[in-house]
C-alpha cells in the first residue's frame, strides 16, 4: 500500500535527496545561481559558495550541473569528497575525470600536470569548450590541493580562464581562504548562504506539498502557528525544515490526521531531537530562581539584608536591568539606581525564553502581545502575521539602530515591549551593539497604532515594499542625509503586510506636501505619490506622523 495516498500525496514531499524538481527558488538561492552561471559563462575562473550545514549548497551544486548538462560546448565534472591523501591521488583523479589515459606508475606529478594543461588548452581554445570543475564539501580540501587548484587557475588565455572552478563549502573554508591569500585573490565571486526567513520557510513547505500532491487534492494543512513552530525549531535551515516536515507527514499518516497544528509540531521536535525536555528543565530552574529572588525582594527578610529593586514609579511595574536576575543592589549603592533604564538595559532584561509555550495563539497572532501593545484600543482584525520579517546585518549596524528605523519612536512602555520581544526571538544575539556581518535578525509584528487617523491632511508615499529586507535596503541607500524618510510597516485586509517609505512628516494639505516632495532628489521623488487616507482596518507596526 502506498501510504502517501492516505494524505493525497503522489510522492514524498520532504525527501532529503537534492531532487531538482523540488528546488525552491528562494531569493538568495536564485541570486546565487544567477551570479554563478554568469561567472561560468564569462569564464572568470574561481567561484566559492559558503554556507552552514543544511543551507542548500548541495542542491545548488546539482542545479548548476543541470543547467549546463545539455550544452555541448560545456563539460561539467563533480568531486563529491575532496579528501585526498596526497597530490598524486588528486592529480590522477582530475586526469581520469577529463578522460585522459591513466598515468604510468613512474610518471611524476609534473608530467600529469602537463597532460592536464594540454587538455585544457585543447578543449578551451581549439574546441572552444568550457570546462567546469565543481567541488562539494570544499571544507575538506587539503592544503596541497589548494595549491594545485591555484596552478590550474594560471592556465588562461588573454581573455579567459581555461578551467572554471566552483567550490561549495562550510564556514570552516573561510579560514582556509584567509590562510591562502594568493588563492583567495583569484576568486571572482564569494557567495554566502544563510537560513531562510519565515516567509520563505513557509513558502518552501507549501511549494513542496503542491509539487507532491495528487493534482490539487492534498489534504495536508499547516496552521500558521505550526509553521512558526517549524521555523523556530529548524532555524530557517532548509534541511532541518525538510527533516522535521518528513516526521510530521509520517505522524499524520500514523494518526490518520490531515491538519498540522502547533502541538503536533512540538511533539515531533521533542521526539526527533529530545531538545524540548532539556529546555523544560532549564525553564523550571529559571522560574524557581526568579521566585526565590522575588520572595527575597518583597519580604521583610529581604529588606533586612539590604536588598532593593529598581521600580518604575509612574506605573508601579518593575523594570528589569541587563542582569539575568534583575538589577539587585545593596542599600549603599541605591544612588546608582536609574529612574528609567536605557533601551539597551531593557532589551537585555530577563524575558520568557519560550513565548509560544505561554501565550495563547489564535490565527497566528499572540494575543498577549497584542493586548499589551494596545491596552486601550480594540483590534479590528486578528489576521496579520506574527513576524514583520528578517534583516541580514551589514558592517557597523546594530540591532537598536534597526529597531529605531523599523518601529519609529513610540512611547517608553511600547519601546520596552518591542525591545524585549526582539531579544526574545533573537536569542542567538549576545550583544545588541555588536552583531556579526550577515547575522540574521528577526523582528516581531508589534501593533503600535490602528486607524482611524486624521481625516484632513496627507502623507507622501515615496515607495512601498512587500518585504522588510527590501524596505530596509531602501533606507540604507537613502539615509536621512538624502531626505527625511522613514519606514512604516502596516497591515490591512486589502494589501496584506506592506512596508511604506514615507516622508517623515504629516502635511495639512496637498500643496505643502508637493513643496516638500520637490525638495527630495529626483531619483527618490520620481515614483512618489500623495495619500490622504489608509484603509479602515489598517494596523500600524510603527508610529505614523499625524501632527
Q: Cell for 436?
A: 556579526
Element of type H or E holding 459: strand 459-465
pLDDT of 7: 79
- Per DSSP, 496 falls in state E
- Per DSSP, 493 falls in state T
For 39-46, what is the mean pLDDT? 92
For residue 402, count other CB atoms closer than 10 A to its CB: 20
Which has more confidence, 534 or 338?
A: 534
Is the pLDDT score of 434 beyond 80? no
pLDDT of 152: 94
**Residues of the chain with pLDDT > 90: what percent?**
34
The third-level CATH classification (topology) of the domain covering 3-18+197-273 is Helicase, Ruva Protein; domain 3 (1.10.8)
Question: Could you give the angle at the alpha carbon of 136 between the alpha carbons of 235 and 244, nearest 5°?
Answer: 30
Is the pLDDT score of 54 beyond 60? yes
pLDDT, tens digit, 9 for 90 and up, residues 307-337: 433 333 333 333 333 332 333 333 333 333 3
Sorted by sequence, the CB contacts under 8 Å of residue 189 that are 6+ apart come out as 35, 36, 39, 44, 47, 48
Candidate CATH numbers 3.40.50.300, 3.40.50.720, 1.10.4080.10, 3.30.750.210; the one for domain 27-193: 3.40.50.300
pTM over 0.95: no
Is the pLDDT score of 206 beyond 60? yes
| Dihedral sign, Cα of residue 532, residue 537, residue 542, residue 547 | positive
In order, the DSSP letters of 94-130 are: HHHHTTPPPPPTT--HHHHHHHHHHHHHIIIIIS--E
Max Cα distance, the chain (Å): 92
Helix (H, G, I), strand (E, B) or coil at 268: helix
3-state secondary structure 277-320: HHHHHHHHHHHHHHHHHHHHHHCHHHHHCCEEECEECCCCEECC
pLDDT of 520: 75
Helix (H, G, I), strand (E, B) or coil at 135: strand
Instruction: Pinpoint the residues of the chain covered by CATH 1.10.8.
Output: 3-18+197-273
**Beta-strand runs (E) in 246-402:** 259-260, 307-309, 311-312, 317-318, 328-330, 361-362, 365-366, 387-392
Lowest mean per-residue pLDDT among 167-171, 274-278, 455-459? 274-278
Which has more confidence, 543 or 430?
A: 543
Confidence label for 155 from pLDDT (cuts 50, 70 and 90): very high
Which has more confidence, 363 or 177?
A: 177
pLDDT of 95: 92
Q: Cell for 386?
A: 506574527
pLDDT of 521: 73
Sorted by sequence, the CB contacts under 8 Å of residue 480 that are 6+ apart come out as none
Element of type H or E holding 133: strand 130-135
Is 398 in contact with 344 (CB distance < 8 Å)?
Answer: no
pLDDT of 371: 37
Question: Could you give the angle at the alpha carbon of 390 between the alpha carbons of 426 and 441, nearest 5°?
Answer: 30
Is the pLDDT score of 82 beyond 90? yes
Instruction: Pinpoint the residues of the chain covered by CATH 3.40.50.300.
Output: 27-193
pLDDT, tens digit, 9 for 90 and up, residues 369-408: 333 334 334 344 457 888 999 998 887 788 888 888 899 8
Residue 488, beta-bridge partner list? 500
Helices (H), 21-161: 27-41, 57-69, 87-97, 109-121, 143-152
Is the pLDDT score of 451 beyond 80? no
Helix (H, G, I), strand (E, B) or coil at 242: helix
Amino acid at each position: 500500500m502506498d501510504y502517501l495516498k492516505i494524505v493525497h500525496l503522489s510522492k514524498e514531499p520532504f525527501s532529503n535527496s537534492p531532487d531538482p524538481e523540488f528546488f525552491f527558488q528562494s531569493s538568495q538561492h536564485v541570486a546565487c545561481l544567477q551570479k554563478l552561471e554568469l561567472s561560468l559563462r564569462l569564464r572568470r575562473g574561481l567561484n566559492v559558495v559558503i554556507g552552514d550545514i543544511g543551507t542548500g549548497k548541495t542542491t545548488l551544486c546539482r542545479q548548476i550541473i543541470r543547467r549546463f548538462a545539455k550544452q555541448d560546448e560545456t563539460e561539467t565534472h563533480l568531486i563529491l569528497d575532496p579528501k585526498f591523501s596526497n597530490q598524486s591521488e588528486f592529480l590522477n583523479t582530475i586526469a581520469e575525470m577529463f578522460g585522459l589515459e591513466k598515468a604510468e606508475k613512474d610518471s611524476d606529478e609534473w608530467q600529469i600536470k602537463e597532460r592536464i594543461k594540454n587538455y585544457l588548452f585543447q578543449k578551451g581554445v581549439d574546441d572552444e569548450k568550457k570546462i567546469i570543475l565543481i567541488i562539494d564539501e570544499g571544507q575538506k580540501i587539503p592544503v596541497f590541493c589548494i595549491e594545485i587548484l591555484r596552478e590550474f587557475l594560471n592556465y588562461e588565455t588573454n581573455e579567459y580562464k581555461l578551467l572554471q572552478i566552483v567550490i561549495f563549502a562550510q564556514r570552516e573554508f573561510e579560514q582556509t581562504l584567509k590562510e591562502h591569500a594568493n588563492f583567495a585573490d583569484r576568486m571572482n565571486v564569494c557567495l554566502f548562504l544563510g537560513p531562510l526567513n519565515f516567509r520563505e520557510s513557509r513558502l518552501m513547505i507549501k511549494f513542496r506539498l503542491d509539487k507532491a500532491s495528487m493534482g490539487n487534492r492534498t489534504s495536508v494543512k499547516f496552521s500558521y502557528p505550526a509553521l512558526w513552530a517549524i521555523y523556530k525549531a529548524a532555524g530557517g535551515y532548509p534541511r532541518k525544515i525538510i527533516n522535521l516536515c518528513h516526521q510530521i507527514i509520517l505522524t499524520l499518516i500514523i494518526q490518520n490526521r490531515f491538519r498540522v497544528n502547533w502541538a503536533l509540531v512540538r511533539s515531533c521536535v521533542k521526539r526527533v531531537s529530545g531538545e524540548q525536555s532539556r529546555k523544560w528543565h532549564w525553564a523550571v530552574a529559571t522560574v524557581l530562581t526568579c521566585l526565590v529572588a522575588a520572595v527575597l525582594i518583597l519580604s521583610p527578610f529581604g529588606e533586612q539584608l539590604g536588598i532593593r529593586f529598581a521600580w518604575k514609579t509612574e506605573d508601579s511595574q518593575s523594570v528589569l536591568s541587563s542582569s539575568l536576575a534583575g538589577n539587585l543592589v545593596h542599600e549603599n549603592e541605591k544612588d546608582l539606581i536609574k529612574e528609567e533604564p536605557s533601551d539597551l538595559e531593557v532589551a537585555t532584561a530577563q524575558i520568557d525564553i519560550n513565548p509560544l509555550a505561554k501565550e495563547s495563539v489564535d490565527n497566528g497572532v499572540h494575543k498577549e502581545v497584542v493586548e499589551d501593545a494596545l491596552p486601550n484600543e480594540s483590534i479590528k482584525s486578528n489576521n496579520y502575521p506574527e513576524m514583520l520579517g528578517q534583516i541580514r546585518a551589514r558592517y557597523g549596524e546594530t540591532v537598536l539602530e534597526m529597531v529605531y528605523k523599523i518601529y519609529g519612536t513610540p512611547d517608553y512602555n511600547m519601546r520596552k515591549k518591542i525591545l524585549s520581544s526582539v531579544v526574545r526571538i533573537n536569542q542567538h544575539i549576545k550583544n545588541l551593539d555588536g552583531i556579526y556581518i550577515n547575522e540574521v535578525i528577526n523582528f516581531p509584528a508589534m501593533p503600535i497604532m490602528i486607524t482611524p487617523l486624521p481625516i484632513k491632511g496627507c502623507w507622501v508615499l515615496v515607495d512601498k515594499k512587500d518585504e522588510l529586507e527590501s524596505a530596509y535596503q531602501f533606507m540604507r541607500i537613502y539615509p536621512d542625509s538624502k531626505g527625511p524618510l522613514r519606514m512604516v510597516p502596516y497591515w490591512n485586509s486589502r494589501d496584506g503586510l506592506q512596508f511604506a517609505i514615507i516622508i517623515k512628516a504629516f502635511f495639512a494639505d496637498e500643496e505643502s506636501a508637493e513643496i516638500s516632495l520637490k525638495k527630495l532628489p529626483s531619483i527618490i521623488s520620481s515614483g512618489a505619490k500623495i495619500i490622504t487616507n489608509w484603509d479602515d482596518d489598517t494596523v500600524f507596526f510603527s508610529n505614523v506622523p499625524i501632527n
